[in-house]
Amino acid sequence: MTTLANIRTKVRRLTACPAEEQLSTADIDKYVNTFYLNDLPQSLKLFSLKEVYTFYASPGVETYALNGDPSFTDSAAARAYYSVEPPAYVSGYQAYYTQSREELYRMFPNVNYEDTQVGTAIAGPYAITISNTPLLRNYITVSATDGAGNRLIAYDDGVGGFTGDITAGAIDYDTGAITALNFTAAIPATETITVQSVPYVSNRPSTILFFNNIFTMRPIPDKTYRVDINAYVYPTVLLLTGDSPEMQFLWQLLAIGAARKVFEDRGDTEGAQGVMGIYSEQLLLCQRKTIEQNRPIRTSTIYASQTEGVGNLNYNNFRG
């Protein structure tokens, strides 16, 4: 009753296109999944699509990407998420969550330190040891001026190598040792090679920044930590005739939403307007489960866990 086959049938009835020649099955599936994966998550934040997103922070690594691109072609693809929200926990300890880069770097500024070495009239190799360690990945810059006055700049790539105006080079983030560094031109003995880097003190992360679908941890992890945070997941694409939406009550809304997109692509404003009534009705009905789920829950405050009477785990609250 709630399968993709039934969704297709309803789309054909709503658009008055019973024949394959009028509206192909492939096009219907495209409209259904476009609405399902792009429109629906923005229109409805359903309780059924909320789950705990877990990842593991690694020693010395500050950033972790969230998969925000749902697959339109693979129902077995890795889960994709369209938003996250606090609270966030690091190994069971609640962490401070922010979406402001200004706030994070005000609390944990990336202060650059410099190390220098003079050129030797060759392009390389040079060996340089950075004095303050360990070092943040993707924050190391090596610069110098060649004999023609051109500024040569190299950047670490986050995995122990360099890119930019060099032909070779490696960096050990723990020891600060830069080895086999070869510039694209010779560095005169009168010029200085400057290395800028950001050292850090590692610990269990207590603050998490979420910005541009990337989690940034501070302090930098000193070992592996489990991180848990609430997230809204994209639904799984519908590909096969017998596939059903993850929340089966959505099937009529998916058909109506797909039909509306068909009308829009045809420039049929009257048809698109004609389904808006039943679209709005289904939108409200599909929200009912989430509303009922949240109805008895009061807003969380610092006092929310303070209860009295039978059932309280703090037995000192029992009264005679």
- If one counts the domains in the chain, the total is 2
Residues 260, 185, single domain; the answer is: no
- Over residues 26-85, the pLDDT tens digits come to 999 999 999 999 998 888 788 788 899 999 999 999 999 999 999 999 988 889 999 999
**Is residue 190 domain-resident?**
yes
The domain in which residue 273 lies consists of 1-46+247-295
Q: Would residue 311 count as lying in a domain? A: no
Cα–Cα dist 37/51, whole Å: 17
Give the residue ranges of DSSP H helices in 176-275: 251-266, 269-274
Q: Of 197, 226, 256, which closes a domain? A: 197
- The verdict on 188 and 261 lying in the same domain is no
Q: What is the pLDDT of residues 263-317, one digit of tens each?
A: 999 999 999 999 999 999 998 888 877 766 666 666 666 555 555 444 444 444 4
Q: Is residue 19 part of a domain?
A: yes
| pLDDT score of 226 more than 50 | yes
- Mean pLDDT across 94-98: 96
Find out whether 314 and 308 touch, Cβ atoms under 8 Å. Answer: no
Are β-strands 207-211 and 93-98 bridged in parallel, bridged antiparallel, or unpaired?
Answer: parallel
Which contiguous run of DSSP H or E holds residue 173? none
Q: Which pTM value belongs to this model?
A: 0.80
**Domain assignment present for 39:** yes
| Position 126 in a domain | yes
Q: Does residue 145 lie within any of the structural domains?
A: yes
Q: Is the pLDDT of residue 184 over 90?
A: yes
Does residue 232 lie within any of the structural domains? Answer: no
In a domain, 309, yes or no: no
List the structure tokens of 249: 């009550």
Residue 150: which residues within 8 A CB-CB, separation 6 or more?
185
Same domain, 120 and 192: yes
pLDDT, one tens digit per residue, over 128-143 is: 999 999 999 999 999 9
